[in-house]
Amino acid sequence: MNCVGIDVSKGKSMVAVMKPHGEVVIAPYEVAHTDAALRELADRLKALEGVVRIVMESTGNYHMPVAWLLCNAGFYVSVVNAMLVYSYSNNTLRRAKTDKKDAVKLANYGLDHWSALPRYLPEEDTRILLKNCYRQYQQHSKLQTMMKNNLISLTDTTFPNVNRLFGSPPRADGSEKWVDFVATFWHSQCVSRLSRRAFVARYRRWCDKHGYQFNEDKALSVHASASSHLGVMPKTDTARLLVEQAVAQLRTTSAALAALREEMLQLASRLPEYPVVMEMFGVGPTLGPQLMAEIGDVRRFHSKKALVAFAGIDAPAYQSGTVDVKSRSISKRGSSSLRRTLFLVMSVILLCSPEDEPVYQFMNRKRSEGKPYRVYMMASANKFLRIYYATVKEHLDRLERAPVENRERGIVAQ
């Protein structure tokens, strides 16, 4: 048997081929991530005698073109967690690290774990697009939070507490009422220098222009708030420019978030598990696509425990001699994005408190036992993931069996 170790980096990889007992088949050499170079590598590996398996680390997006091409060429490709390889065979006093040594190390790792190497299966295009959309959604969400805080900090010097005057939720296009209001009334003096009657009339025209419902009492309370607060920053063209730029940046990011959210929902609706996931309590049009993006095809996990471990909310056992720790913290070794989404789903369930929902019943039982907030939230997330795995996997298996059963019924009918 031949084990190919590929140490992947950006734009190139180091390749080494080893046999058992330290026999070097192909000494480490560099391969560029071009179509011609990777196909030449595939042809060279096909010429080897015996069974060939390829091992590489999961390195973000760098390994994907290499794994995809070699997998389509018919090779058994295994993409392993980098932490597993890092902990393997570090029994040396020298801390030398080179790409050549790492390629050989990967090949030896594959030989030692030959029968347990998980096979890499390329994801569907829809799942790849959904996952990348969610990655961009996360980045824009962080930017939105940062820019919103920046605008609030800026308006505290021009129109204090203006962000608290309106409680309307964001619209489908990402716009918010208080942000639209600040774009027009960027300083408290823009309101306070008008009479109450004049501001009410202007506020009515503003509501009609932006499609908001007019309320005279709200207009009067906004006028009173503007009159009672003092803007530290003077009402100048410079101050107006600062506020307008902050508003424009926030609007752009919010619009991008709304577009990404809509695209994620469209992509998720093409997946076979979409109707089942969306029926689960606590999962809506925002959190549902996030769950499907992070988990992917549940059939790639051999059990419920594997999915829970992937999320990093498992509590590994610890026992040594007479020490047997029963209560441990979660491992946090898995997907932090999935943990965040699960926490949000648990927050929705806790807020709605559906008495007939199994996850809430479990959560309420743990809470009544005196468990801390984060403990019963993560324990409930663990239960939710197990239900998710069982429900979705059963649905996907039923869809796979349906064509076979239909063909068998057709044969019997004939």
> Does any domain span residue 147?
yes
The last residue of a domain, from among 268, 298, 319: 268
136 with 158, same domain: the answer is: yes
> Does any domain span residue 124?
no
282 with 402, same domain: the answer is: yes
pLDDT digits (tens, 9 = 90+) for 145-199: 999 999 999 999 999 999 999 988 899 899 999 999 999 999 999 999 999 999 9
Determine the 3-state secondary structure of 61 from DSSP: coil
Domain of 145, in residue numbers: 129-268
Non-local (6+) Cβ contacts of 237 within 8 A are none
> Does any domain span residue 121?
no
Instruction: State whether the Cα torsion 59-60-64-65 is positive or negative.
Output: negative
16 with 112, same domain: the answer is: yes
204 with 302, same domain: the answer is: no
> Does any domain span residue 208?
yes
318 with 399, same domain: the answer is: yes
CATH number for the domain harbouring residue 15: 3.30.420.40
pLDDT at 321: 74
286 with 386, same domain: the answer is: yes
278 with 264, same domain: the answer is: no
The last residue of a domain, from among 245, 268, 291: 268
Between helices 287-295 and 336-352, what is the axis angle to 10°?
150
> Does any domain span residue 338?
yes
E strands present in 59-130: 76-80
29 with 140, same domain: the answer is: no
Dihedral in degrees, nearest 10, Cα atoms 71, 75, 80, 84 = -170
- Number of structural domains the chain divides into: 3
Q: How far is CA 354 from CA 130, 282, 350, 359, 379, in A?
A: 30, 10, 8, 9, 17
85 with 163, same domain: the answer is: no
pLDDT at 314: 81
> Does any domain span residue 59?
yes
pLDDT at 407: 58
> Does any domain span residue 123?
no
> Does any domain span residue 293?
yes
> Which residue ranges in the chain fall short of pLDDT 50?
413-414
Structural Rg of the chain based on CA atoms = 29
pLDDT digits (tens, 9 = 90+) for 300-320: 888 999 999 889 888 777 777
46 with 151, same domain: the answer is: no
The last residue of a domain, from among 81, 116, 151: 116
279, 180 contact by CB (below 8 A):
no
295 with 400, same domain: the answer is: yes
Q: Return the half-sphere exposure (C-beta side, CA atoms, 13 A cut-off) of residue 338.
A: 22
pLDDT at 92: 65
What distance in Å separates the CA atoms of residue 121 and residue 71, rounded to the nearest whole number?
8
For residue 112, which of 13, 17, 25, 21 has the smallest C-alpha distance? 21
What distance in Å separates the CA atoms of residue 130 and residue 231, rounded to the nearest whole number?
45
96 with 222, same domain: the answer is: no
Non-local (6+) Cβ contacts of 131 within 8 A are 123, 293, 294, 296
